[in-house]
Amino acid sequence: MADGPFSDITVIDLTHVLSGPCCTMYLAELGARVIKVEHSGHGDETRKFPPLVDGMSAYFATMNRGKESIALELDKQEDKELLLEMIRRADVVVENLRYATLEHLGLDYEALRRINPRLIYAAISAFGQTGPLHERCAYDPILQAMSGMMSINGQPGNPPTKVGTSIVDYFSGMFCLAGIEAALYQRTRTGEGAKVDIGMLDVQMSVLESALMNALNGGPVPRALGNKHPAVTPCDTYDTADRPIIIIAANEDTFGRLCTAMGRPAIAADPRFRTGVDRRANDDALKAEMEAVLRTRPAAQWEEVFAAAGVPCAIVATVPEAVNLAQLRERNMIIESGTIRMAGNPIKLSTLKDPPVRKPAPQLDADGAAIRAEFTPQGKGHLISRIAPR
């Protein structure tokens, strides 16, 4: 991937677990050189996360493919000085450590920009670098709870439920990626670096969509709707002869085509379902009418019929079924890295290679000797005394 748009960018990766490694993985996918700095004793804790394939965690391998690894102990002066020299020559530093971890080591943004004014310093934390909660730590489900996300997820009447994947971590990584890209672009005009401050609670609030719009503008209290949409009907999962299918008809034209494709055009003319407002008011009745027809045929047949009619629909698949979709194979969205299969890069650029096999994630300190040789000046003496702004 060295010929990508960031092929001249060096990233010092001080991240662990998911949000930060997700961000730096995509920087590597876009051509950046990413040097992952890990603790010499244990490395990133996700190295032990299951499933393990040939001794390598698939979790770690997915989020850290294409990177280099060096193991350091930053309470040791020699290792700290080496890291400072790496940062002096780097373009980007990304961290998602506990609040003030780097500040206590003298590696906060203000200290680092003095040795590298062009540095982009990106920090992901639970609550950002300011505000009354900025010193608190949290995990993805905690932030889903605080933001209200859990209250609008799941089936009506059931307990609050988190989303089935770590969406706050993923979104935070991607927002951080966008912030870094913006700061790099700005640097081409000003010559100066910047600090990117990503608060995961901020990110989660920004993706609440219509629930937040209603809460802020006098709408009804957002609640769990299951698979329904707060503004569009029909939009739900529906039983067929064998398994559920999801159908969405967001306007009158699509609803008419849906009814015709079901062989029941009269449903579209029913006063209860004539407009979107009518359909929302009579959602349960419409679902009963639709399922009476849909249960007569298997989901695969209905999916084919509705797709031909231009009605958005899909069988509710399992994850193993989804990874075998021909669409994903054609889009190179299932790739290999080492001996591990994983999701590919959804960022498709006409100028970026998208090979089916990627450079694997590194073993702990796999590149340590080479990196030390590269960044340690020849001769004796402390590195810090040699550090000067570029």
Which residues form the catalytic set?
Answer: 229
The pairing of strands 33-39 and 10-14 is parallel
The pairing of strands 194-199 and 235-238 is unpaired
Give the residue among 292, 314, 310, 319 at the shortest CA–CA distance from 302: 314
Contacts (Cβ under 8 Å, ≥6 apart) of 73: 39, 40, 41, 79
Return phi, psi of residue 249, to 5°: -125, 95
CA 27 → CA 35, 65, 84, 117, 290, distances in Å? 11, 11, 21, 21, 46
Give the residue among 231, 249, 227 at the shortest CA–CA distance from 310: 249
Sheet with 357-358, strands from edge to edge, namely 340-343, 334-337, 357-358
